[in-house]
Structure 1
Amino acid sequence: MQIRTEIHHGEWNQFIAENSSPSSFLQTYEWGEFQKSLGFKIHRFAVTGEAGEYLAVAQAIVRPLHFGKTYLEVTKGPVMQVVSNKLISCVFEELRRIGKKENSVLIRINPPYESGLQLTTYNFTPPEILLRQMEPQDTVLVDLTKTEDELLENMHEKSRYNIRLAKKKGVKIEEKTKDSPAFDKFIELIGETARRDGIAVWPRSRFEKFRQQFMLGDYKSRDPRAILLTGEFEGKILAASIIMLFGDSGTYLYAASSSESRNANVPSLALWEAIRQSKLAGKKYYDMWGIAPAGADEDHSWAGITRFKSRYIKSGKTGVERHCIGTWDLVVDKKYHTLFRVAKKIKTLFKR
């Protein structure tokens, strides 16, 4: 096995699409370029076989910390053709080498697998710091191999009713990916949604760079690409969403809505149209992108959104809940990791 750092764009993306399901767009070449545009350093490498074929890939983003330290983030990666001890050891050895070079405190991975990796064997542990910087490990996948009638028939009665009611009231959903006024309206609505629901969202500048990378130019020929859908009622855009399309999946990346005319059920029809658009694009899954963990309490902060998303499938028939192995850290610098951990505890005490 060899480490290869001269990466072919198309070969890289094809490997990820073929060896992760739902396809891991956060490991695509374009996502790395997007992160570069935000000022972050990127490391990409592939582990190759005797004939130069890819066996595993990892794209690591160098994130800054205090005191001149960093951490490596390998989100929805590494991606491997076959999970084997020899291959895993090779990947982690290279990540450790990069981490030391970048003055990293830890290496954070979030593999796109439900099982098969015994990460404690390789000295990985559950995160103790930077807990807000973790991607969701649980999601709902809608099975797009089913017909639209099957999907509608098997979703929760309330969701089906809301979709039909929105249509009856004259709600219109349109794709407006390259439309600047629609993008501006999305930014306005995502800000309103963040304030209403108490969530953090990207600043406008980051959305604009995302748009440049995934939504402008000849975007329809790209993989990955993103589309912008808007929901209009009585001449006003009241909902908007960004859907990521890559490999076998469409992903519910961002959704925003107004508090106005809630009884028109614009968000319900917008979500259904996002599912339809992903199906029309030939995708196998629509990834709802984040639900509460299995067995979570009813008062979990994501309980409401989990109920909303889960109503669009009938488990085992038109979709499934997917629970991956989650986020794990490999500590590279124990001294500074302890320092950050203690600082976190002190900060928590002062907040009480």
Structure 2
Amino acid sequence: METEATPSGVAFLFVFLGFLSYNFSNMKEENKINKEQWNQFVLANQGSFLQSWEWGEFQERVEKRIFRFSGEGWAAQFIENKLPGVNKFYWYAPKGPMIAISDWPIANSKIQKITEEIKKTAGKDVIFFRLGPEWDLSSRSSLVASGFSQLPYD
């Protein structure tokens, strides 16, 4: 979890009360692209090592569940985190999602696709997801337009 905000690292939170009915039987194949393709996309689009395939592998070694989603011009790696005191989880994409530089004019539609994929995949115990993109402040309008709220400490 990010402990401080930076001008280019604005984190957003979106709570989906409506997707509590989804379950993991609806899960699609999450690894449509391989490790090399994933990392090439990260590098080509100024992504962070926190979105690298290797960071996901490390998280799996410390017993976290990883979910990777990708589509044309976007990719996001989520880490499942347990909420303290309850048997519920949230998903966090540190420094993600990544959107292809050439697709910034249509970033809002990419955010909608990411949201759709999460809704299809998240189980009933996932109560929200958090994005922590490394985007400049002017780019956050795409997230706000998609229904996200800025966290008060960012």
Whether the TM-score (by the shorter chain) exceeds 0.5 is yes
Kept after mapping to 1: 8 A contact 2:51/2:94: yes
Which of 32, 37, 58 is the aligned partner of 1:6? 32
- Given that 1:7 and 1:45 are in contact with CA atoms closer than 8 Å, whether structure 2 keeps it comes out as no
Q: Does 1:110 align with 2:129?
A: no
Q: Which has the larger radius of gyration?
A: 1
Query: Aligned letter for 2:37?
Result: E
User: Does the aligned pair in 1 maintain the 2:38–2:53 contact within 8 Å?
Assistant: yes
**Equivalent in 26, 35, 41 of residue 50 of structure 2:** 26
Task: Work out whether 1:125 is the aligned partner of 2:149.
Answer: yes
User: What is the one-letter code of the residue matched to 1:9?
Assistant: K
TM-score, normalised with respect to structure 2 = 0.69
Deviation at 1:102, TM superposition (A): 5.5
Kindly report which structure 2 residues correspond to 1:46-125, keeping only aligned pairs within 5 A, or say none.
46-48=70-72, 55-65=73-83, 66-81=85-100, 82-83=103-104, 84=106, 85-99=108-122, 101=123, 103-114=125-136, 115-118=138-141, 119-125=143-149
Counterparts of 2:118 and 2:151 in 1: how far apart (Å)? 17
What amino acid maps onto 1:79 in structure 2? M
Structure 2 distance, partners of 1:124, 1:97, is: 18
Contact kept, 8 Å, 2:92 with 2:131, in 1: the verdict is yes
**What's the offset of the Cα at 1:127?**
2.9
Amino acid at match of 1:37: R
State the secondary structure of the residue aligned to 1:116. helix
Q: Deviations over 1:110-156 (max 9, x none)?
A: 1111032322222211336xx7xxxxxxxxxxxxxxxxxxxxxxxxx
Distance (whole Å) between structure 2 residues aligned to residue 111 and residue 78 of structure 1: 6
Q: Distance in 2 between matches of 1:39 and 1:102?
A: 20
In 2, Cα distance between equivalents of 1:98 and 1:107: 12
* Residues 290-329 of structure 1 aligned to structure 2 (within 5 Å): none
1:75, distance to aligned residue in structure 2 (A): 0.4
Q: Which runs of 4+ in 1 moved over 4 A?
A: none
Cα gap change, 1:4/1:67 in structure 2, threshold over 3 Å: closer, same or farther? closer
User: Relative contact order: is structure 1 or structure 2 higher (C-alpha 8 Å, sep ≥ 6)?
Assistant: 2
- AA aligned to 1:113 is W
Output the CA distance in 2 between the equivalents of 1:108 and 1:69.
14
Answer whether contact 2:51 2:96 (CA < 8 A) is retained: yes
Instruction: Sort the Cα spacing of 1:47 and 1:102 in 2 relative to 1 into closer, same or farther, 3 A.
Output: farther
Distance across 2 between alignment mates of 1:4 and 1:116:
27
- Identity rate, percent: 31
Q: How many residues align?
A: 119
Residue 111 of structure 2 aligns with an amino acid whose one-letter code is: I
Q: What does the per-residue CA deviation read over 1:65-115, in whole Å, with 9 as the maximum and x for residues that have no partner?
A: 13211000000000011231222211122123333x252221110111103
The offset of 1:57, in angstroms, is: 0.3
Residue 297 (structure 1) aligns with: none
Q: Are 1:75 and 1:111, in contact at CA under 8 Å, matched by a contact in 2?
A: yes
Structure 1: distance between partners of 2:146 and 2:55: 27
Q: Do the aligned residues in 2 keep the contact of 1:13 with 1:28 (CA within 8 Å)?
A: yes
- The one-letter code sitting in structure 1 at the alignment partner of 2:43 is A
Matched residue SS, 1:39: coil
Secondary structure at the counterpart of residue 58 of structure 1? strand
Query: Any unmatched runs of 5+ in structure 2?
Result: 1-28
- Mapped to 1, the partners of 2:36 and 2:57 lie a distance apart of 14
- For the residue of structure 2 that corresponds to 1:67, the secondary structure is coil
Secondary structure at 1:86's aligned position in 2?
Answer: helix
Determine the C-alpha separation between the residues in 1 that align with 2:81 and 2:68: 15
Give the C-alpha shift of residue 4 in structure 1.
5.9
> What SS does the aligned partner of 2:134 have?
coil
TM normalised by structure 1 equals 0.32
Q: Which residue of 2 aligns with 1:345?
A: none
Aligned counterparts of 2:95 and 2:145: Cα–Cα separation in 1: 20
